[in-house]
Amino acid sequence: MAQHTLSVLVENSPGVLARVASLFSRRGYNIDSLAVGPTENPEVSRMTIVLNLEGHALDQVSAQLFKLVNVIGIQEMKSTNSRQRELLMVKVSSSGNRNEIVALAKKFNGQIVEESSDSVVVEAVGTSKDLASLLTEMGKYGVKELVQSGLIAIEIGDTTLAERTLQETGLATSESHSQTEDYQN
């Protein structure tokens, strides 16, 4: 099993999320996280999907996703060619340790966004790995509540996913093209 991150441009129309979710459900693909939000174009939304898959399945997932009429483009985001971030908010017990918690949050580029009598809310943005480390360290103060967003990712460099998918007419994933190239090598 390997983790893959797919960025999927979809038409901003009702039912798109249900179509994608239904496809993943009926074909038995496991979603680790899913984030949906607006893009620079109001007609287009962007989904970032983190999946756990075996071997050739990514080609198949991309091809099946691309069959959805509302899906405009798909691109695999690799850790080497993209910046990937998640947002975490955690409510931690703070009796007597408030300064330590502030210091720990800062170490992870986080901040305290809410303070109450017995707890603070720490907010941090980072990679899954960074946030996991932060959480482990916060553990000793007592995590009362945790909420974390799905991962979002953006490609490094000047090209954008929208430009790329406008140019391509066939399959929009680099992975799917790689299969076509396999036999040529």
Interaction between residue 170 and other proteins (CB under 8 A): yes
Output DSSP code: residue 134. H
Task: Please state, as a whole number, how many other Cβ atoms lie within 10 Å of the Cβ of residue 48.
Answer: 24
Using CB under 8 A, which of the segments 30-38, 65-73, 82-90, 103-111 binds other proteins? Answer: 65-73
According to CB under 8 A, which one of 3, 22, 30, 81 is a site residue for other proteins? 22
Output DSSP code: residue 179. H
3-state helix, strand, coil in the chain (%, to 5): 35, 40, 30
CA 89, distance to chain mean position in Å, is 16
According to CB under 8 A, which one of 12, 39, 70, 93 is a site residue for other proteins? 70
CB of 183 to other proteins, least distance (A): 5
**Of 80 and 185, which CB lies nearer to other proteins in the complex structure?**
185
According to CB under 8 A, which one of 67, 80, 96, 136 is a site residue for other proteins? 67
According to CB under 8 A, which one of 47, 49, 50, 71 is a site residue for other proteins? 71
Interaction between residue 14 and other proteins (CB under 8 A): yes
Output DSSP code: residue 47. E
- Return the residue matching tokens 């908010």: 89
CB of 72 to other proteins, least distance (A): 5
Interaction between residue 42 and other proteins (CB under 8 A): no
Angle at 14 between CA 9 and CA 17, to 5 degrees: 55
Interaction between residue 28 and other proteins (CB under 8 A): no
Alpha carbons 120 and 112: distance in angstroms, whole number = 7
Interaction between residue 63 and other proteins (CB under 8 A): yes
Alpha carbons 136 and 131: distance in angstroms, whole number = 9
